[in-house]
Chains A and B, each alone.
Chain A
Amino acid sequence: MLEKNVYESFMKIVGERNISQDPAVMDSYAFQWCNEIESAQRGDEPQRFGVRPLAVVLPASTEEVQSIVKACNEHKVTFKAFCTGMGPWAGVSDPRAIQIDLRRMNRIIEIDEKNMYAVIEPYVINAELQSELFPYGLMHHAQGAGPQTSPLASHTSFVGPGFTSPYTGFSGRNVLGVEWVLPDGEILRLGSFDHNGKWFTGDGPGISLRGVMRGWLGAYGGLGVFTKAAIRLFSWPAPKDWKWKTSGTIPEYNWDIPPFWKMFVLNFEEWEEYKAAMYELSDREVTMVATTSAPEGLAALFTNTKQEAIETIFAGLLAKTRNYIVMLVAAHTRREFEFRTKLVRLIMEKYGGNDLIEEGVTVPKPMHYGETVRNMLGGHAFRFSNCFQSTHGGMDTIAMAVRLAQLNQTVKQKYIDKGVIGDDRGLGVWITSYESGHMAHMETPTVYDPTSVESCLGYAAYQDECNQMDLDEALGMPFFIVGDDVHNFYAERTMHYADWIRKIKAAFDPNGVSDPSHYVKGDRKK
């Protein structure tokens, strides 16, 4: 329990209705997806609950967040900001910590239609923002975690791939102006907003403080609280008079596909042909989506129930699927559509591919087009065992992504043979390209049973082996190389980068109150 005077100091800031230390409420924050994996990786018994916060506070404004952070500094209480929360990194690690739940800060502050950016608060979710943007013919880069999650969290604090990445890029590169409550309670405003109240860039004057904000992975909430962010927007490729229309009931709902949209699943016998096609399709800017997985992944994408997915796998996907790219041509005009679809077919033929949709091997329904752009498809992977997590994640070129996929197969198969993770014959990967093919990343979604100690331990061991492989084979840095111990393991062979991050932490969080568990502590670890 927090001391009475400390609890009351927080209560004074947010009011009695917006603070709690009820154990049941605290448990709801401590229960996070993948806690069982992190605890297993630490060498503990797999635990589905993380550390319970001592209190949860729900501020309604930046000023309230600032007061809370200042009170944390004064009373030596650690804090962790929480938006939509999905993973151990959303929870606290210190026994003397509070959770700052930002759910009351849920406003879309501004949509600048012409200059294509939106200013959002932390608890705006992808689905809401998307709905508000459609009337303007705009969309944002929504991260793969799904429509129920916070785009601010992804843009400011976490890795940010999504299904539309070839067209909308990566969260961390789409950030403009930012309002940021630093760990010492000062409010920093990045870029143009600090000078003229407009959010159109977050860089300068001179150096860009985005350089200490997040990096590639994001600081996972280890360096203060982001209270507003401007993010870039993109054209929604549909005619002006097209309306978002659905009918029916989830999971079998209907969705009106915009007129110049067409999905392809281009299948290539060998990785080499796949790779050449992926480079060319991405470079030519013909696709909004360029995603690769295993036959099981394809089944998960374009079905609505576990049973349907399994039936689809055995009805032909296993036999007829090799290395494929799910592509979505989404054009603004007929002229653009005809050019792009023609080019897609030419590239497919050039590299000896076939279209699994045209051949009836897989049949996405209209709703699956909608699920794709809503970034709902990642959630489909939970159907098999109620849980999955990804290993690897290194981001650089398409060639590296393919090499990772190839090398991963035998490692994964070893754990499949042990019966601790789902059997996808080691083929289960997820690849996407970014920014017209300039970058790509590969991760390996892997299903495990979160209720089985053996499965959790097995998955954890598999992830550790993947991390080691990436180090040894120069295959980039995986997604979850965070926290002091893991950083130490990686930084030794990566230019001791963590020493610099520790200096940043010390400079901006002198009292060490911003939860460092998935970032770094400010002092250098011996």
Chain B
Amino acid sequence: MNQTMKDAMIQITGNDRVSDEENVLSQYSGNYPPSLVVWPITTEEVVNIVKWANENSVALVPTSSLGPKLRGSSLPKVENAIVVDLSKMNQILRIDSTNKVAMIEPGVTYDELIHTLKLAGLRPLMPFLPKGSKSVLASCLDREPITIPRFHWDTPDPLLCTETVFGTGDIFRTGAAAGPGTLEEQWEAGQAQKNPMGPSQFDPYRLVQGAQGTIGIVTWISMKCEKLPEIQKFFLAQADDLGDFQEFNYALFRRRLPDEHFMLNSTALSAALGEKKLLSPWILILGVSGHGDIADEELDYRIGDIKDIARESNVKLEENLKDVKSSEIEALLNRASEVPYWKIRAKGECQEVMFTTTLDRVQEFYHVFHEVAREIGFPLDQIGAYVQPMNQGTNTHVGFDLYYTLGEDDSTEKVIMLLSRGQKKLLDEGAYFSRPYGVIIDAVFEKGSPLTVDAMKRVKSIFDPNNILNPGTLCFKEVP
């Protein structure tokens, strides 16, 4: 089978973009090593790969980012799979500064995009300090939270339109990109693939996003960008308890005054800065900006109103803390992490826990997780926490990072135990794992109604009827 598979892939992509070498396969190894890695560079090649996989009942695992892979969602969970690595599709296809949008292929990384957008007076809406090899497209498809909640209108933002090869092998453009008209005709008519909804009476982009590669393989996306600010200022505040920020945060959500708006615990901020800092348990980070004409006056009014709210809610905003300057924070934003990835740099290894809740419950979940860590004996000062308001403050992403070193004080065993027991405890207490990865997945789908899983399987059977796309992922256990 492997030789047949290899011959078929070579026929589609050519000899240079197929590999079954041991050292290559090992980089993509999940529960099982893949049988083959293939690097398509066109949508047509992707279509041919998907059609062949359907005809031959072979699993495909799409991936775009290079390692380190902390979540394992794009690694094979079944035997004899082909990894479809899209990282060589790395063109920035279009940038439209008037309409604040970029169209990109899967292999485009943040640093490349930031640089190119800057020349057009734009910046991407992006997560906090992503790894340097992270695919922007994959980040958008993963519903990775962005650091600016006031520009986060709906859960899928900044994802707009996509070109997707469904599991059936059909190419489909989602949103306004579907037509009428070719992309060129749409551009001629003034369109820019901005409306992500539809086409018509369904929203396929909401099905492809969050699917971890189980519904379709996405070959380009358009994404929301924002104008580069003329002027920016950053503010910090410290607290022992997130509750101390609560009134201030909720008032800010209503007003949409700052750009960047999130919280880190001292462990996470130290890890991001690359050195241990003396800080209070929680640090609030705000970025404020002014744009275009009278940018300075915009900055003044925004800062003025933010400071009034801070005074009313007893939050002390500072440009510099004793041990951290706001310029150091600014340097962490709007760029990718250096190598090694900051989460790895801290202790050599990292495992992630992430869920969605409302801001008023985050401190409670933090205590719950700490309690389990304490029982297990995992050091609390090795748990980083990132709290990112989303949907203009309606809900909040919470990320706990477990930094550890292989072979140090049973740390691997403790991490495995904490991932299992800690996440289960969070789930029981009402944390919503909207983007489930790893050991918690089955418990998440058992927690909801069986009808939800049934409905998702009905969807899966439409777009990937032979279960060739990333089998074993989410609630989709069926194999080709």
Q: Which residue of B lies closest to A476 (CB)?
A: B176
Q: Which residue of B lies closest to A138 (CB)?
A: B254
Partner among A187, A201, A495 whose Cβ is within 8 Å of the Cβ of B199: A495
Within 8 A of A (CB), among B268-322: 291-294, 297-298, 300-301, 304-305, 308
Residue A43 CB within 8 A of the other chain: no
Partner among B195, B227, B463 whose Cβ is within 8 Å of the Cβ of A283: B227
Report B-chain residues with C-beta under 8 Å of the C-beta of A115.
358-360, 393-395
Q: Given known contacts A332-B255, A474-B181, is B207 in contact with A207 (CB within 8 Å)?
A: yes
Report B-chain residues with C-beta under 8 Å of the C-beta of A519.
201
Q: Assess the A216–B200 pair: CB atoms within 8 A.
A: yes
Q: Given known contacts A114-B250, A209-B452, A283-B100, is B294 in contact with A346 (CB within 8 Å)?
A: yes
Q: Assess the B394–A232 pair: CB atoms within 8 A.
A: yes
Residue B445 CB within 8 A of the other chain: yes
Q: How far is the CB of A462 from chain B (nearest CB, A)?
A: 19
Within 8 A of B (CB), among A199-235: 200-220, 222, 232, 234-235
Within 8 A of B (CB), among A170-210: 170, 172-174, 176, 182, 186-189, 191-192, 194-196, 198, 200-210
Q: How many angstroms between the C-alpha atoms of A350 and B99 in the bound complex?
A: 20
Q: Assess the B154–A174 pair: CB atoms within 8 A.
A: yes
Q: Given known contacts A200-B395, A343-B293, A495-B172, is B202 in contact with A212 (CB within 8 Å)?
A: yes
Residue B89 CB within 8 A of the other chain: no
Q: Given known contacts A192-B432, A212-B202, is B179 in contact with A495 (CB within 8 Å)?
A: yes
Q: How many angstroms between the C-alpha atoms of A220 and B189 in the bound complex?
A: 28
Partner among B99, B172, B300, B435 whose Cβ is within 8 Å of the Cβ of A399: B99
Residue B422 CB within 8 A of the other chain: no
Partner among B298, B301, B474 whose Cβ is within 8 Å of the Cβ of A205: B474
Report A-chain residues with C-beta under 8 Å of the C-beta of B179.
474, 477, 493-495
Q: How many angstroms between the C-alpha atoms of A400 and B143 in the bound complex?
A: 28
Report A-chain residues with C-beta under 8 Å of the C-beta of B448.
194-195, 205
Q: How many angstroms between the C-alpha atoms of A169 and B224 in the bound complex?
A: 15
Question: Which of B26-34, B209-217, B334-342 interfaces with chain A?
Answer: B209-217
Q: How many angstroms between the C-alpha atoms of A333 and B254 in the bound complex?
A: 13
Residue B203 CB within 8 A of the other chain: yes
Residue A487 CB within 8 A of the other chain: yes
Residue A373 CB within 8 A of the other chain: no
Q: Assess the A494–B199 pair: CB atoms within 8 A.
A: yes
Partner among B203, B212, B291, B304 whose Cβ is within 8 Å of the Cβ of A211: B203
Q: Given known contacts A232-B391, A335-B301, is B191 in contact with A397 (CB within 8 Å)?
A: yes
Q: How far is the CB of B436 from chain A (nearest CB, A)?
A: 5
Q: Assess the B212–A397 pair: CB atoms within 8 A.
A: no
Report A-chain residues with C-beta under 8 Å of the C-beta of B391.
201, 232
Q: Assess the B195–A208 pair: CB atoms within 8 A.
A: no
Residue B248 CB within 8 A of the other chain: no
Residue A470 CB within 8 A of the other chain: yes
Q: Assess the A201–B432 pair: CB atoms within 8 A.
A: yes
Q: Assess the A207–B191 pair: CB atoms within 8 A.
A: no
Q: Which residue of B lies closest to A350 (CB)?
A: B293
Report B-chain residues with C-beta under 8 Å of the C-beta of A186.
451, 454
Partner among B143, B209, B304, B445 whose Cβ is within 8 Å of the Cβ of A335: B304
Residue A129 CB within 8 A of the other chain: no
Q: Assess the A474–B394 pair: CB atoms within 8 A.
A: no
Residue B412 CB within 8 A of the other chain: no
Q: How many angstroms between the C-alpha atoms of A200 and B155 in the bound complex?
A: 11
Q: Assess the B201–A217 pair: CB atoms within 8 A.
A: yes
Q: Given known contacts A335-B305, A494-B199, A507-B459, is B434 in contact with A191 (CB within 8 Å)?
A: yes
Residues of B within 8 A of A (CB): 98-100, 143, 151, 153-156, 171-173, 175-176, 178-182, 185-186, 188-195, 197-212, 214-215, 224, 227, 250, 253-256, 291-294, 297-298, 300-301, 304-305, 308, 356-360, 391-395, 430-436, 444-445, 447-449, 451-452, 454-456, 458-459, 461-463, 474-475
Q: A176-B394, A208-B207 are in contact. List 17 more A-B contacts (CB 8 A).
A: A186-B454, A192-B434, A200-B432, A201-B434, A205-B432, A205-B435, A205-B474, A206-B210, A207-B214, A396-B194, A402-B190, A477-B198, A490-B180, A494-B180, A503-B462, A504-B459, A507-B459
Write 18 A-B pairs (CB below 8 A) sorted by A numbering.
Answer: A116-B392, A176-B395, A188-B449, A204-B210, A205-B432, A205-B433, A205-B474, A207-B210, A207-B474, A211-B207, A343-B298, A399-B190, A435-B153, A438-B224, A473-B189, A477-B180, A500-B463, A508-B455
Residues of A within 8 A of B (CB): 112, 114-117, 137, 169-170, 172-174, 176, 182, 186-189, 191-192, 194-196, 198, 200-220, 222, 232, 234-235, 279-280, 283-285, 332-333, 335-336, 338-339, 342-343, 346-347, 350, 394-400, 402-403, 435-439, 470-477, 481-482, 487, 490-491, 493-495, 497-498, 500-501, 503-504, 507-508, 519-520
